[in-house]
Structure formats: structure tokens, C-alpha cells
């Protein structure tokens, strides 16, 4: 896995001159701890500026259903976020306005598609729905797919005729995977790491008591931040993620497109080498009297499986492989059991476990509440004070706010976001390997 791309050229956002009197807040994608810290603090800050706040329910799912005979309905499609409704909500679990994965930009995959009325139909419906609510701006909170949607929504509006209603949009980055370009750490990441680390500590105690192993699959679609963080914090025996798919752990296969007939090379996991890495760890630990352990693997490794393992795979609305359904932990577990018995002539208790969902609505830690709250304030500052449009809210240093233009985060030709991987040879990656070596030998 190559290192993260170099930072995009610095682009200074320009004020639009638009006055914000009413704003909508929307949360999309999977939950994350401290979601309510973002929503509550953002809404409260808007109210302090005399701006009315509408909480859009369940992501874009209600907005795309808007029609003249199906108007937006308070209580079903949106709620008014008042001071009374926000009271003592910053530290709560869950998402007070709900979420969904509905993707109104799914048919727009290149700038040329913005001129196609059929492909932009859902974006137009979203624009009409928000316009019907009388909002001047939208705060989008979500992952990289939601950032893509926010950018497409802005580009769609940029292509509207002069004089058309313009709804400014800013985005707050959300993912427990922490694989966002443009920000050091995303809200909810550390709470998720601690929640998963506690689960892994329990598995370690179980393994020590029963002389067994666990293959713990952690969430993390594209990068290994969550798996690495949980492994480091829990003192797991080994962690492997997509960033480790280099050198002897990978190979290639030829894939032929069924429609075009064009054959291409695809980088895949060298299954035998991957399994041997885990078995070698187990054998090495046995030499020093350790007959137990937990191996943490990132779910994103499923994307490196040979095609033969993905014949019945499912994909979501954003075109992503359904990683939960693939169940890497169970697959790797079976392979490791066989390889271990073949190498040692004996059996070892190994159990697969999928971890992740239990961390998404965990009670947020103080840092995530502070970070989420600051990002919420940043959305207000971007829209009301600076009058920006099309920026992502970010922090650095002492939670200093920064505003990153969408165009520096998204490929202008494919309109997709750039994943931030753990850099090869970085101190963070070395930390995981150092702790692994120090406890095993």
C-alpha cells in the first residue's frame, strides 16, 4: 500500500456574501461516537447567532422523496432544533436526527454528468426539498461518501442558471476509520478505539484462560487506523491491515471485464503467505510459553481477496463491497486452523470475532466530545462569520479551526475522495510492530 498522497495545493476559500438566516443540519452514513456533540454544539452556536436550525431526519432519505404532492413534514422529515431540544445532549449516545446511507449523487460520477438532467435528478430533488424548508445553508456531517455528495450538491448548484437559489454547504468529517484527508483525527475515532480495545482485552484474558486464539476483525474499509489503534491500545498479538499488503503478502491475478472483455492485472492477497504470517506468530509465542493471543485484522483486507472468494459478494449503494457479509475473520480463522495443524501436527482453539458495531454508538470520551463540539462551532464560523461555501471543517494543534475547500480533497475527474492511509514506515506503524515484537519474544 502506497503512502498517503502529498497534500493538495493550498486553495483559499472566498466569501460568498450570502446571509444565513436558516440552516439545515444533516447526518449521513454510519454512526460515530460524539455525533450529538457535533449536532448539538453546531445548532446551539447557530441559535446564538440568531439563525434558525432545522434538523433533517435520516440523512438524505426523506429529501429525495420530496415532491409537490409529498412535501417535507415536520416531525417525520425534519425537526426544529430549539434550545430546549438541545439541552444536555452533547454527551449522549446515538444520533439525535438519525442517519441513512441514501446517496443522491450516485448517478454523477464525472463532471460531464452534471449537465445530464437524468443523472442529477436526485440532487435537484434535494435542492427543491431544502428550498421548500427555507434554508440558506446545509451542514453535512458524514464520511467520505457524504463528502462526495456534498461536493456534487455544490457543483450541481454551480451549474444552475443565474438567479437560482443557492444553498451554501459545508461538511464536517465523520468516520471512526479516521481515514480522512484534510484532518488529523476524526471525532469518534478514539472512543471507537477504546471500545474495541476493551473487547480485545477481554478476548486476551479468555485466550489466556483457555489456551486459545481469536481472530478479531475490526472495522476499517479503506485504511487500518482503527485496527492499528485498537491493537496498540489492547496489547494484541498482531495487527494486519490493507497497509500491510506489500511485498511477499501480495500477488496478482488477471481479471477480465465481462462486458468489455478487457483483461487487467489486480493486486491481491497472497493467501498462503498471509496465513503463514499468523501461524509463525503463534509458533513463536509458543516457544516462550505463550499459548494464546489475539490477531487483529482490518475488514478492508476483504478487498484484496482473490476473485474466487468474492463470487457471491454484495455491494452497497456507493459501490462498496459489503465487508460485514464477507466475514474475513471466519475465512482467515478456517485457513489458520488448517495451516497451524499442518505445521505443528496439533490443533489449537481459534475463534473468529467481528468487532465494530458496538463502538459506533458508544458513550463518547471527553476528547471526542471536545473535538466534535469544535467542529460543530467551525461549521457555524464557516457559514455565518466567513460566509464560505464548499469547505470541510478541520482542526489542528490546539483544536485550531481550518477550512479546507472541497476541490483539494476530491479528484476533479472522478469526483471521489482520496483515502488517507497509514504511511509505510511511519512512527505510528512502527509503534504497532515494536509492541508486537516486545511482547512476543
pLDDT value of residue 9? 46
Percent of the chain's residues with pLDDT above 90: 83
Longest distance between any two alpha carbons in the chain, whole Å: 77
pLDDT digits (tens, 9 = 90+) for 359-369: 999 999 999 99
pLDDT value of residue 4? 43
Q: Model pTM?
A: 0.90
In CATH, which of 3.40.50.150, 3.40.50.300, 3.40.50.460, 1.10.357.10 is domain 192-360+424-440?
3.40.50.460
Residue 262's pLDDT band (cuts 50, 70, 90) = confident
The CATH number of the domain covering residues in 22-186+364-408: 3.40.50.450
For residue 97, CA distances in Å to 78, 79, 83 come to 8, 8, 15
pLDDT digits (tens, 9 = 90+) for 374-406: 999 999 999 999 999 999 999 999 999 999 999
Residue 6's pLDDT band (cuts 50, 70, 90) = very low
Cell of 438: 516486545
The mean per-residue pLDDT over the stretch 92-113 comes to 96
CA dist 333 and 353 (Å) reads 9
pLDDT digits (tens, 9 = 90+) for 333-353: 999 999 999 999 999 999 999
At residue 419, the 3 state secondary structure works out as strand
pLDDT value of residue 437? 74
Q: Do domains 22-186+364-408 and 192-360+424-440 have the same CATH topology?
A: yes
For residue 429, CA distances in Å to 235, 236, 240, 241, 297 come to 14, 14, 11, 11, 14
The mean per-residue pLDDT over the stretch 281-307 comes to 93
Q: Per-residue pLDDT for 1 more than 60?
A: no
pLDDT value of residue 319? 54
Q: Per-residue pLDDT for 105 more than 70?
A: yes
Q: Per-residue pLDDT for 33 more than 50?
A: yes
In the chain, what are the domain boundaries?
22-186+364-408, 192-360+424-440
Percent of the chain's residues with pLDDT above 70: 93
The mean per-residue pLDDT over the stretch 290-297 comes to 96
Amino acid at each position: 500500500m502506497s503512502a498517503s498522497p502529498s497534500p493538495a495545493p493550498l486553495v483559499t476559500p472566498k466569501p460568498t456574501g450570502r446571509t444565513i438566516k436558516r440552516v439545515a443540519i444533516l447526518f449521513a452514513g454510519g454512526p460515530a461516537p460524539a455525533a450529538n456533540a457535533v449536532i448539538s454544539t453546531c445548532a446551539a452556536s447557530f441559535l446564538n447567532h440568531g439563525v434558525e436550525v432545522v434538523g433533517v431526519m435520516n440523512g438524505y432519505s426523506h429529501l429525495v422523496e420530496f415532491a409537490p404532492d409529498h412535501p417535507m413534514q415536520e416531525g417525520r422529515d425534519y425537526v426544529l432544533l430549539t434550545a430546549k431540544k438541545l439541552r444536555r445532549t452533547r454527551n449522549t449516545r446515538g444520533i439525535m436526527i438519525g442517519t441513512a446511507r441514501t446517496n443522491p449523487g450516485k448517478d454523477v460520477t464525472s463532471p460531464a454528468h452534471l449537465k445530464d438532467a437524468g443523472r442529477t435528478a436526485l440532487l435537484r430533488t434535494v435542492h427543491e426539498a431544502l428550498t421548500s424548508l427555507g434554508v440558506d445553508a446545509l451542514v453535512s456531517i458524514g464520511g467520505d461518501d457524504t463528502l462526495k455528495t456534498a461536493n456534487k450538491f455544490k457543483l450541481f448548484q454551480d451549474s444552475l442558471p443565474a438567479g437560482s437559489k443557492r444553498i451554501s454547504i459545508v461538511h464536517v468529517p465523520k468516520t471512526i476509520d479516521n481515514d480522512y484527508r484534510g484532518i488529523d483525527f476524526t471525532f469518534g475515532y478514539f472512543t471507537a478505539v477504546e471500545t474495541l480495545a476493551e473487547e480485545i482485552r477481554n478476548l486476551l484474558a479468555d485466550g489466556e484462560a483457555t489456551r486459545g486464539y481469536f481472530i478479531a476483525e475490526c472495522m476499517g474499509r479503506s485504511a487500518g487506523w482503527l485496527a492499528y489503534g485498537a491493537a496498540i491500545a489492547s496489547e494484541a498479538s498482531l495487527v494486519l491491515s490493507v497497509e500491510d499488503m506489500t511485498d511477499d503478502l501480495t500477488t496478482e491475478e488477471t481479471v477480465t471485464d465481462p462486458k468489455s472483455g478487457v483483461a487487467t492485472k489486480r493486486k491481491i492477497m497472497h493467501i498462503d503467505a498471509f496465513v503463514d504470517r499468523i501461524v509463525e506468530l503463534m509458533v513463536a509465542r509458543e516457544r516462550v510459553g505463550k499459548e494464546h493471543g489475539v490477531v487483529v485484522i482490518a475488514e478492508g483486507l476483504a478487498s484484496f481477496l482473490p476473485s474466487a472468494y468474492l463470487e457471491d459478494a454484495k455491494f452497497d449503494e456507493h459501490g462498496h463491497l459489503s465487508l460485514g457479509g464477507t466475514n474475513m475473520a471466519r475465512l482467515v480463522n478456517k485457513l489458520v486452523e488448517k495451516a497451524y495443524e499442518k505445521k505443528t501436527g496439533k490443533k489449537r482453539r481459534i475463534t473468529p470475532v467481528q468487532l465494530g458495531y458496538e463502538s459506533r454508538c458508544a458513550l463518547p470520551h471527553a476528547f471526542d466530545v471536545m473535538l466534535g463540539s469544535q467542529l460543530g462551532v467551525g461549521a457555524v464560523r464557516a457559514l455565518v462569520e466567513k460566509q464560505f461555501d464548499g469547505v470541510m471543517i478541520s482542526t489542528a494543534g490546539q483544536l485550531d479551526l481550518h477550512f479546507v475547500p472541497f476541490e483539494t480533497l476530491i479528484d476533479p475527474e472522478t469526483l471521489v475522495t482520496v483515502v488517507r492511509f497509514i504511511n509505510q514506515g511511519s512512527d505510528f506503524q512502527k509503534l504497532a510492530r515494536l509492541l508486537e515484537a516486545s511482547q512476543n519474544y
